[in-house]
Structure 1
Amino acid sequence: MSFESLKKGIKSTLKSEDTEGFFEIYVTRSCGYIWALFFKKLHVHPNAVTIISIVLGALAGYMFYFDDLYHTLWGIFLLIWANWYDCADGQLARMTGQKSLLGRILDGFAGDVWFFSIYFFICLRLNEEWGLWIWLLAAFAGLICHSKQCALADYYRNVHIFFQKGADKCELDSSVVQKEKMRKLLWKEAWFEKIYLFFYIRYTRSQEQMSPACQHLLKALKTKYGNTLPVELREEFRRGSKPLMKYTNILTFDTRALVLFVVMLVKEPYLYFVFEITVLNVLFFYMRYKHENLCKNIEKTYC
């Protein structure tokens, strides 16, 4: 396989090049794509790949319980491996068309399991020295900071793809629409989907609550233009939103993982929680401020 054909194949499995940075495309996604090709040849289902990634990520967290270099290096390797598989499952699903509700649930669940394991075992490791305080620090960093940072970053990526490619090419969902969808389902026939939607509605609603100007813009555009937005509007939003995509990448996995690896290697794991509470929160609020202003300006111009 030539480099050009590999590059073309990788790009064909991306949701959007706009939302992926150089490192994500040429390092993370490249490795994921090679694994996806391997699994495709073996006829492995994407959900099986996701389950393996969950196990690998959970094991990585366990390795961080120990403070020696051997276990730390194993934890780093396992988390990188888990992330490759997390990329591979989506790329494999897009290659083969094997998309499913279970796959979407597992994909969202994977990262939660990884970081729960990492937080839990770091807290166990530091419990004797810190006591209750490390658990409180981790709870604030994870439940208040990490969850909101990732949720809004994911939402802004989908908003960007919506303006770039249209509603059918993104996963920009409305909590109101999803709630109506859940209401129409019968427990006897679709209990699994109803349970999923129950939690997904709350996740989507939290994204909407963090982006009021964006919600106002989307409603105004729907009222004025329906499902067909003017090309110049879409391009103007894309130009304003694209520079913010680097912040969505920082707030998701790669930068988090890099900082985690560094603090584990220097044997100061509590600094990871401090990083989430300080540096990532500053980026989170800055990204939100810029995006909300972009939405207000677009609405003022076109509505």
Structure 2
Amino acid sequence: MATLLLPLFVRWGVTPNLVSLSGMACGLIAGFAYSHVPAPAWVLAGFLLMLAWHVMDGADGQLARLTNAQSEFGKVLDGICDYITFIAVYIGLAVALTPRDGVWIWLLVALAGACHAAQSAAYEAQRQLYDVWGWGRVSRRLHVATPEAARSVTGMLHHLYGRMQVLLLGRGIETDARLRTLLQTAPDSAGELHRRYRETFAPVVRRWSVMCSNYRTVGIFLFALAGCPIGYFLTEIVLLSAVSFWLIDRQNRRLADFLRQVTVEGVSGPVVLVSG
């Protein structure tokens, strides 16, 4: 759907940032719709509005690449819009649940939101690492805003998000540094290194897809439709957190094995996939 909208956006001169903000607007209205749970019509409206946000969320990046309008500010804005969408929906659900379950529900929602933020940061960090070392997309390298840049609101948010990613990336930071050093000594091996990284980590990245926002959107809809949004928040806190920790552990084990292979056996050595 996002791809179908691109020609229209280009023709009308729509900027990627405007697309991001339009998606956020859909998310805010979705939050209002979900505040009327358990009314089925409102639940469906919230779901459709979140689908519209997904379309815009996919279109902004595609439009930026198509029009060569990529920027660090645009990346930060895109992330902010994504978070605001889920914050709005979580608040909407909390508003709907408060009359029945009391104000303690806000603590549960806040904890679920914190877990969600950490899981999403880890998921995005692993994707960025894969893009850099699997495909050579250096623009995707993880950056933490400098103290000077962090003085602005967007810079501060970028800095905090980047620090969270660093904390959750595990061996990823070490891997990035050592592979960069390796390429400095053997620049001609870049293509082979990228190929080996893809072969080793493609299965891991596919596992991380369980943390993508698509499943959360569907989960929110199904739990809300069943009249049990609390079930979604408990799933976020308990199940998805456990899965996230497991994925980080498996990723760290495989990163350690990969570094051993490419540093001891050489970049052109055979690919040996470790368990997990």
TM-score, structure 2 length as denominator? Answer: 0.87
- Picking from 186, 190, 196, the partner of 2:154 is 196
**SS, match of residue 134 in structure 1:** helix
Q: Could you report, residue by residue, the CA deviation over 1:17-71 in whole angstroms, capped at 9, with x for unpaired residues?
A: xxxxxxxxxxxxxx11112222122221121111111111110011011121111
Identify unmatched segments of 5+ residues in structure 2.
264-276
Matches within 5 A, 1:240-279: 240-279=200-239
Question: Does the 8 Å CA contact 1:250/1:256 hold for their aligned counterparts?
Answer: no
Q: Could you report, residue by residue, the CA deviation over 1:99-150 in whole angstroms, capped at 9, with x for unpaired residues?
A: 234422321111111111111111111112222321111111111x101110
- Picking from 156, 160, 167, the partner of 1:209 is 167
For the pair 1:89 / 2:47, whether they are aligned, the reply is no
**Aligned counterparts of 1:151 and 1:61: Cα–Cα separation in 2:** 22
Identity %: 24
CA distance 1:195–1:47, shift in 2 (3 Å): same
- Picking from 217, 222, 225, the partner of 2:183 is 225
Aligned-residue offset at 1:230: 4.3
CA distance 1:288–1:97, shift in 2 (3 Å): same
Counterpart amino acid of 2:58?
C
Counterpart amino acid of 1:117?
A
CA distance 1:285–1:34, shift in 2 (3 Å): same
User: Could you say which residue in structure 1 is the equivalent of 2:7?
Assistant: 37
Aligned-residue offset at 1:232: 3.6
Q: Could you report, residue by residue, the CA deviation over 1:211-238 in whole angstroms, capped at 9, with x for unpaired residues?
A: 2322222222233332835444332221
**Aligned counterparts of 1:117 and 1:81: Cα–Cα separation in 2:** 15
**SS, match of residue 41 in structure 2:** helix
**Aligned counterparts of 1:111 and 1:40: Cα–Cα separation in 2:** 23
- Picking from 17, 23, 33, the partner of 1:47 is 17
Question: Does the 8 Å CA contact 2:121/2:168 hold for their aligned counterparts?
Answer: no
TM-score, structure 1 length as denominator? Answer: 0.80
Aligned-residue offset at 1:167: 4.3
Counterpart amino acid of 1:255?
Y
Higher mean displacement: 122-131 or 198-207: 198-207
**Aligned counterparts of 1:108 and 1:270: Cα–Cα separation in 2:** 25
**Aligned counterparts of 1:252 and 1:224: Cα–Cα separation in 2:** 32
Higher mean displacement: 195-204 or 124-133: 195-204
**SS, match of residue 178 in structure 2:** helix
**Aligned counterparts of 1:96 and 1:53: Cα–Cα separation in 2:** 19
CA distance 1:240–1:200, shift in 2 (3 Å): same
Counterpart amino acid of 1:131?
G
Question: Does the 8 Å CA contact 2:129/2:142 hold for their aligned counterparts?
Answer: no
**Aligned counterparts of 1:123 and 1:235: Cα–Cα separation in 2:** 46
Q: What RMSD over aligned residues (CA atoms) do the two structures have, in Å?
A: 2.0
CA distance 1:127–1:289, shift in 2 (3 Å): same
Counterpart amino acid of 2:75?
R
**Aligned counterparts of 2:125 and 2:255: Cα–Cα separation in 1:** 14
Question: Does the 8 Å CA contact 2:76/2:158 hold for their aligned counterparts?
Answer: no
